[in-house]
Structure 1
Amino acid sequence: MSIQITVRLDEGLVANLDAVIASGGAKSRAALIESALEAEFRRRLYQREIDILRAQPSDPDMDALAAWMVGRYPGIE
């Protein structure tokens, strides 16, 4: 089920959305925004997991996993 919402976006963001759609990079504004939100929610989940790992006593395997995740996902610290 989907729910329609109304959001206001800067003109530049909308122009970028439309450019991606025109180039075939997305089916619609809604599809691209949905994809961006899903990516942001994944990033936040991964960040929480890293924070949990960092709060644990040092473990070489877990430290390596945390380092890999930080390198793999921009915006994760």
Structure 2
Amino acid sequence: MKIFNKIRRWVENIGGYRMTTDSSTYKYPAYIVEVQGLLSWHTVKTFISDDAQYAKICATELLEMLKEDIEPK
């Protein structure tokens, strides 16, 4: 039963969004917004700036926009 619960949670999260950081690849901290596909995470946009707070705010705004429910008109 535990394996079925894990599979169900994994399938429910497909299409989910997240924000990760990467400070080793780039000169400045990078904030990466990703969407979950069937088998892996795919990068939507990467925000890199010498002002880390600005990059984080931009990534957070994009993440919030992606998470909004789109209502049909």
TM-score by length of 2: 0.35
Which structure shows the bigger proportion of residues in helix conformation?
1
Return the structure number with greater strand share: 2
Larger radius of gyration: 1
Higher relative contact order (CA 8 A, sep 6+): 2
